[in-house]
Amino acid sequence: MATNKTFTVAGVSTLKGVTKVRFANDFVSRIKVLDKNGHTDVNLKEFPNAMTKAQICETLINDPDFQGEAAQGAISEFVVRNCKDMAPKKATPAAEKDEDVLSSIKSAEMETVDAELETA
What local confidence, expressed as pLDDT, does residue 4 receive?
Answer: 82
Per the CB < 8 A criterion, the answer to whether 4 and 50 are in contact is: no
- Domain span at 43: 7-82
**Predicted local confidence at residue 11, as pLDDT:** 96
CA 16, 18, 24: angle at the middle one, nearest 5?
100
Residue 48 within a domain: yes
Q: Can you give the C-alpha Rg of the chain in angstroms?
A: 22
CB 14 within 8 A of CB 39: yes
Residue 71 lies in a domain: yes
Q: Is the pTM of this model over 0.75?
A: no
- Same domain, yes or no, for 16 and 73? yes
Cα atoms in the Cβ-side hemisphere of radius 13 Å centred on 29: 6
pLDDT tens track for 6-56: 999 999 999 999 999 999 999 999 999 999 999 999 999 999 999 999 999
